[in-house]
A = this chain, B = another copy of it.
């Protein structure tokens, strides 16, 4: 793999894994030495991550995107729009066998599965569901929204019950799609996203002091 893709992937993982905190400054030279690449691939990676919304410009320099509660609310609106549209398209397909693959993916998680894996599968559910629609742009939109939500969801304080409830809601959505009931699928998905948003924003808002204590920049709603 090329250095450029390498730097991009590793840097993205460090940002999403909160090894580099939201709001932290980045210098091209630091990244260069950190990953053993020269500035050319580093700059390419930075440009890509900027379009993903994971980093932004701070005057002349680079900054890891802060946790922005207002933005999280807007993303929730956005993803509801595109995810509901995608699931409606999918429910209207003749061949809806793709839902079984997603159901199997959900079922691959059990009580022994590490939290990190639950986290990943929870995002992949939405991405793969959007992929079934066959519309590249809806898929891209959902993937983009999930990327931007990723860090916040990781910071969210979630109990076991919340994970189980999300798992059940995911299965219920799949069942509606399997039946070809677009309205029910849309209704369940809307409710799922709204609930997810509420818990997320509430959790982060209540814990914003703790987040700031960890050195994370948090922008209020």
Chain A interface residues (CB < 8 Å from chain B): 40, 43-44, 47-48, 51, 71, 74-75, 77-78, 81-82, 85, 89, 135-138, 141, 145
Contact between chains at A81 and B78 (CB < 8 Å): no
Contact between chains at A137 and B44 (CB < 8 Å): no
Q: List 13 A-B pairs, Cβ < 8 Å.
A: A40-B43, A43-B44, A47-B47, A71-B136, A74-B135, A74-B136, A77-B85, A77-B89, A78-B82, A78-B141, A81-B81, A81-B82, A137-B145
A78 to B85 alpha-carbon distance, docked (Å): 9
Nearest residue, chain B, Cβ from A51 = B51
Q: Which residues of B contact A40 (CB under 8 A)?
A: 40, 43
A85 to B86 alpha-carbon distance, docked (Å): 14
Q: Which residues of B contact A75 (CB under 8 A)?
A: 137
Q: How far is the CB of A182 from chain B (nearest CB, A)?
A: 14
Q: How far is the CB of A12 from chain B (nearest CB, A)?
A: 15
A103 to B137 alpha-carbon distance, docked (Å): 29
**A77 touches which of B43, B48, B135, B145 (Cβ 8 Å):** B135
A75 to B89 alpha-carbon distance, docked (Å): 14
Q: Which residues of B contact A135 (CB under 8 A)?
A: 74, 77-78
**A47 touches which of B48, B74, B137, B141 (Cβ 8 Å):** B48
Q: Which residues of B contact A44 (CB under 8 A)?
A: 43, 47
Contact between chains at B74 and A85 (CB < 8 Å): no
Q: Which residues of B contact A85 (CB under 8 A)?
A: 77, 81
Q: Which residues of B contact A82 (CB under 8 A)?
A: 78, 81-82, 141
Q: How far is the CB of A73 from chain B (nearest CB, A)?
A: 9
A75 to B138 alpha-carbon distance, docked (Å): 9
A78 to B82 alpha-carbon distance, docked (Å): 8
Contact between chains at B138 and A78 (CB < 8 Å): yes
- 10 additional A-B pairs beyond A47-B47, A78-B135, beta carbons within 8 Å, are A40-B40, A74-B135, A74-B137, A77-B137, A77-B138, A78-B138, A78-B141, A81-B82, A81-B85, A137-B145
